[in-house]
Structure formats: structure tokens, C-alpha cells
Structure 1
Amino acid sequence: MIPAIAVRRLDKRFGATRILRGVDLMVEPHERHALIGPNGAGKSTLFNLIAGAARPSAGRIELYGADITRLAPAAICRRGLARSFQTTSFFAKLSVFDNLRCAAQIANRDRMRWWQRYTATREGDEHAEQVLDAVGLGERRDVIAGTLSYADQRALDLGLALASGAHTLLLDEPTAGMNRAEAARAVELIRAATAGRTLLMVEHDMDVVFGLADRISVLVQGEVIATGTPDAIRADPAVRAAYLGDIGEAGDAARGAAR
């Protein structure tokens, strides 16, 4: 099976500083894959490289077998990969629906012709309506996006990625800044909204990671030191020594919830 995302021997240097050191990472189609590691491990740098926001010093990145290593972010997005950021990114003065409508129209633009413009717009609106319900914002359809609660803003951010038509999603700390109840709701939303899609996420909340991910990769000092199921990662002595430590009862509860 061709991986959804394949990162092969990826290096990134900033001057004399080597941030990523020959990273290999495979994300299978339709799986939810978490990337974890301590601050400064290179997680955001790796996300930037996959999304096209930066260029690697060496190595190759593939999306369903196609080389995207040197493509611009817009070109990668057109191939079906969308990214959300640690901070929300949307049009604060537009309504929730109009934000989703913009993303949906961009997704449809390659099919638009001057004599079909109205049809394409109608299709985009229908898609935006579907995404609106998928991310649980149906009752906030006409609310100005900038006035949403933080948790709803993150839901809208996910909706924008879905409305773009992406089959592969990069989520950067999707529950950052949320309380426990908000994070639990976000996990359920992500699980439902990304069904049938491929997900690679960076997340520091271990309850979220062990409750959502099918597989986990651990990045430490620019190198992937382990990849495996949540149970395998929890039990890996090298991972525990380098990053997890003793995650205790909270981790056990999260593992139980994932089953």
C-alpha cells in the first residue's frame, strides 16, 4: 500500500544548526497518526516542510507516492493536503458560513469555467453546509467568526481544512488552550469529522494522543526514536526515558477510553 505521507531521510539545517536528522516517517491512508516529543524536538519544523512552508536541506516528501518536496503550499493544498495551525486562521469579520464558503469555493476552482460559475458556487455552498454540520457549528452559521469561543474557533479551523476538500490533514496542537471538557469534545469532533481521511497531528496532551491516535511517532532531538501503537509507545523504555516518563493513571485512563 502506498503511504499517504512518506518522509524519507529528511534533514533541515538553519545555518550550522541541524534541526531534523534523517527523519523517516510513514503515515498510512486513513489512519490517525500523532507526532509527539519535547519542545524543540523539531515537530513544527517537520510540519512546515510537509506543508511546503519551508524547504528541506535534504530528503524527500511524498503525498500518495507523488513527490511534493519542492512544491509551494498552494500546490500541495490542491493535491489534497490541508494544515491547521496552533493559532486559528480565518476571516474574523466574516460569518462562520462565509468562511467555510470561501474554503469550499477554492476547492472547486479547478472545476469552474466562466459558463459554469453559478453551478460551481452552488456546489460549494452545499459542501460548506455539510462541513458546517460536521464540525458542530450549524447553530452558529451566521455568527461572526471573530466572536466565537476559542473552542468553536478551533472547530471552524478544522472546518476550513475539511471544506478545502482535503483527504489528508495536518493538525497542529488542535486542543491547545482548551480545558479538559473542551478537549474531550474536540477529540470526539476530530474523530467524527476526519473519518475516512488521513490525519497527522502534533499534540502535547497525552490524554488526547492516546485517546485518538492509531499510531504514534516520537521525535526527540530531530530524530524519530519510535513509531508504534499507543500501547507499544507507552511500554517503550527508550520513549519513557526520553519523553513520556511515568504518565500514570491519566495515561491508563486515556488508553482505556481509546479501546
Structure 2
Amino acid sequence: MTVLPALQLRGVEKRFGDTWVLRGVDLEVRAGERHALIGPNGAGKSTLFSLIAGERRASAGRIELNGADATRLSPVAISRRGLARSFQTTSVFPRLSVFDNLRCAVLAARRDGVRAWRRWFGSALVDARANDVLAAIGLQHAAHSPAGMLSYAEQRALDLGLALAGGAHTLLLDEPTAGMNRAEAARAIDLIRATTAGRTLLMVEHDMDAVFGLADRVSVLVQGRVIATGAPAEIRANDAVRDAYLGSGFGR
């Protein structure tokens, strides 16, 4: 039985005016794998995430989610097909409690519409799902604290929780350890490993310890093109990747 990729890009291109950001990107993310996308600043990684999540439109090419065309879908439609994204900067509601942030994320994933929020907010089902995620991300101690009072690393954990709360099967994480010290980054990667088990993960990250310690496969984006995809050991040993991004001394 053939298993469809969770996410597949075919010849995806993006330009802004006369400036080409992405040039014929082909990328396959297998169902259930942890896949890292790396590359120098300006390579087009965040733009690629925006296309996948429906926040921007590709200039050419096709994006498939579980085998279905998602190239022109809105962010809401893509979310309801089971894809969630976190951003480089925290996107929590700072004045709401941690618990209410999670409840909002659970409600946003429902198909009932905005008018049903009053009926569902505070329901046992919504609260149970929010509590499950709260426990998974280790923030029970701060459940009723304003999200804006959390430490930076805790806010990043809550960001992950918001992506998980809707039950997404495919997660896009954009630099989840950015701004953290080494100990915080290590804890964040452990949290991602534990909470994304069984889900598909595509992650943009500059911390190579995080990338090579977590990813099943790695793709390298340079000047808008994927120049290599493979297991971490293959990417470490790839001369073209070292020359373009990792540096000649990496892994030696």
C-alpha cells in the first residue's frame, strides 16, 4: 500500500516583482517524520512556510497536503485540513491566561463557527483538551497566569501548545529555539520530541545541534533552491552543503 506524503511541493516558485525568492522548490515530507529545513538567512525558508500555510500565494508550482491540492487554499482551510504553524516570534495573547490561550486554540480548530464559541467556551470537552495540552507542555503551574508574564522559553512552549491544541497532524515550526540559551534550547527540543511523536514535523532551525539531534531527514535551501535532502549524516558529509552553509570545518 502506497503511503502519501504528508506534505509535497512540486516546482514551487515565488517572486516579488522582479525578485525571485523561491525557484522550483521540490520537497517531500513523509507522514510521521521530523524534517528540518536549513539554509542561510535570505534563502527563502520563511517565505516557503508562508506559502505552505496559505498566508501567501505561490507564483508557480503545486503544494499538496496528504495528496490533496492546497496551493490556493486560505490559512483557515489549510488549518482545518490538519496543518498548524508556529512563528519565529511568540504569538500568544498576553493578557489572557495560559489556559484560556489554549482554550481559544481548541475552539479555533472547531468547525462550528464564531457564533458557537459562547456555547463551547468552558465546555468539558474544550477544557479537557486544553488541560491535556497544558500537561504536555509542562505549564500546569502557570495555568491561570497571564501568558505575557511567562518567561520567553515558556512562551515558546505555549506557542507549541497552541499549534498542538487543535489536533493538527502536520506542524510547521519556525525557529523554535531562537533567542534561547543552550540549556533552554535543549529543553525545547526535548519538549518538541515528546509532544510531536506520531505527528509530521517540518522545522526551520539554525541551531545545528537541534537539527541533527531531532530530524529524521534534512533539506538544505540555498538561494531559493533545495540543493540537498537526506539523513543528517548525509547532510553533514555533503561537500556542497558545507560550502554553501555549514562551513568547511563542520562535522570534521
TM-score (ref. length: structure 2): 0.94
Q: 1:55 is matched with which residue: 49, 54, 57?
A: 57
Shift of 1:90: 1.3
Name the CA distance, whole Å, in 2 between partners of 1:47 and 1:132: 26
Stretches of structure 2 lacking an aligned partner (at least 5 in a row): none
Partner of 1:239: 241
Name the CA distance, whole Å, in 1 between partners of 2:199 and 2:8: 16
Q: Is residue 163 of structure 1 aligned with residue 161 of structure 2? A: no
Q: 1:78 is matched with which residue: 80, 93, 99?
A: 80
Distance 1:62 1:176, change over 3 A: same
Shift of 1:194: 0.5
CA contact (8 A) 2:120 2:126 kept: no
Name the CA distance, whole Å, in 2 between partners of 1:172 and 1:65: 23
Partner of 1:256: none
Partner of 2:193: 191
CA contact (8 A) 1:108 1:120 kept: no
Partner of 1:96: 98
Q: Identity of aligned pairs, percent?
A: 71
Name the CA distance, whole Å, in 2 between partners of 1:82 and 1:247: 36
Single out whichever of 237-246 and 57-66 deviates more from structure 2.
Answer: 237-246
Q: Which amino acid aligns with 1:200?
A: L
Name the CA distance, whole Å, in 2 between partners of 1:157 and 1:136: 12
Pick the structure with more helix per residue: 1
Distance 1:247 1:207, change over 3 A: farther
Q: Which amino acid aligns with 1:124?
A: V
Shift of 1:164: 1.5
TM-score (ref. length: structure 1): 0.92
Stretches of structure 1 lacking an aligned partner (at least 5 in a row): 253-259
Q: Is residue 144 of structure 1 aligned with residue 111 of structure 2? A: no
Q: Which amino acid aligns with 1:173?
A: E
Shift of 1:119: 9.7
Q: Is residue 42 of structure 1 aligned with residue 41 of structure 2? A: no
Partner of 1:65: 67
